Amino acid sequence: MSHASRFARSRLAHALLVAGVVVLGIALRLNNITTESVYWDEFSSLIHLKPPAGYEASPNFAYWDMAVIREQSH
């Protein structure tokens, strides 16, 4: 086996490994992406203000709202 052939196989193996890691990362990120996803800036706004009707209508609202104490906005 020539050096060029071994180098090509090595590059292909590395490319497949990187592609596999990327695909695995995307799959893990997209798994259950629609369930209970409130970012920190949204959450911090919601705990200090009355949440919009869209959040209150969410099926997950009661779950994270259990321990939230809201203050009136000025």
Token readout for 49 is 């203000």
pLDDT for res 74: 55
Sign of CA dihedral 61, 67, 71, 72: positive
HEC sequence for the chain: CCHHHHHHHHHHHHHHHHHHHHHHHHHHHHCCCCCCCCCHHHHHHHHHCCCCHHHHCCCCHHHHHCCCCCCCCC
Residue 65 predicted with pLDDT over 60: yes
Q: Hey, where are the domains in the chain?
A: 1-31, 34-74
Model pLDDT for residues 1-30, shown as the tens digit of each residue: 677 788 888 999 999 999 999 999 999 988
Contact indicator for 42, 64 with CB cutoff of 8 Å = no
Tell me what the mean pLDDT of segment 37-41 comes to: 72
Tell me what the mean pLDDT of segment 26-55 comes to: 76
pTM for this one?
0.46
